């Protein structure tokens, strides 16, 4: 007899809607490497490797980048699609451009020098150090009373893309074209090679 709904074990979507942009950090060391469940996530700053928190930004996007190859059979046509993840990307436009100590990582500038006598900081823009990789972390608290949140941790990330400084009339300067690539970290388990997603929600879980 036909039925109007599936039977057996089912999972129903929750009526929880996450709104607003996440808070974003990069740098530091891994906080849980791994945790009690075997997951690698979170970042923690040290004196040698601080964590940098982004200020004002716009147009944040988190995107997959997958190569696909069609598996075709002359007798039956397309059988399936073979998929390989190359990397994940985060893109955004940045309005909080200072201090240079943070900006230099985003635009791949040189080391920053502080001069206390001049009250200045200076950096060059030269050749890119391709050996630099970062931890990248963003999270959004979707219930501020209970502290429920979701987070994403990238383990082996690089700032890429061709940045462009825009200086609009009567508007804030903004750097566009910023891209962060989450590359595979072969030291992680296969299922966490690119990133780890966490959710904490005491009332729902």
Q: CA dihedral defined by 41, 197, 37, 146, rounded to 10 degrees?
A: 90
Give the CA distances from residue 21 to residues 2, 56, 61, 136, in Å, rounded to whole numbers and listed in that order. 44, 10, 10, 15
pLDDT, mean of residues 27-39 = 95
Mean pLDDT, the chain, rounded, equals 95
CA-wise closest residue to 38 among 196, 199, 205, 201: 196
Q: Mean pLDDT lowest for which of 8-17, 113-122, 173-182?
A: 8-17
Residue 64: predicted pLDDT: 97
Per-residue pLDDT reduced to its tens digit, 58-101:
999 999 999 999 999 988 988 899 999 999 999 999 999 999 99
**CA angle 85–89–91, rounded 5-degree value:** 160
Residue 83 near residue 73 (C-beta atoms within 8 A):
no
This prediction has a pTM of 0.91
Report d(CA 59, CA 57) in Å as an integer.
7
Residue 203: predicted pLDDT: 82
């Amino acid at each position: 007899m036909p039925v109007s709904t599936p039977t057996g074990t089912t999972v129903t979507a929750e009526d929880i809607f996450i709104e607003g942009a996440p808070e974003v950090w990069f740098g530091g060391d891994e906080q849980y490497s791994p945790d009690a469940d075997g997951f690698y996530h979170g970042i923690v700053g040290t004196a040698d490797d601080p964590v940098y928190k982004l200020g004002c930004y716009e147009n944040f996007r988190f995107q997959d980048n997958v190569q696909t190859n069609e598996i075709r059979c002359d007798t039956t046509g397309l059988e399936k699609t073979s998929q390989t993840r190359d990397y994940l990307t985060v893109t955004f436009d940045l309005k909080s451009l200072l201090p240079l100590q943070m900006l230099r990582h985003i635009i791949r500038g040189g080391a920053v020098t502080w001069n206390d006598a001049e009250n200045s900081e200076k950096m060059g823009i030269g050749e890119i150090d391709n050996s630099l990789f970062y931890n990248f972390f963003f999270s959004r608290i979707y219930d501020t009373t209970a502290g429920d949140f979701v987070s994403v941790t990238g383990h082996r990330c690089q700032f890429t893309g061709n940045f462009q400084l825009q200086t609009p009339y009567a508007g804030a300067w903004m750097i566009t074209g910023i891209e962060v690539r989450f590359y595979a970290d072969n030291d992680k388990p296969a299922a966490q090679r690119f990133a780890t997603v966490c959710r904490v929600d005491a009332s729902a879980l």
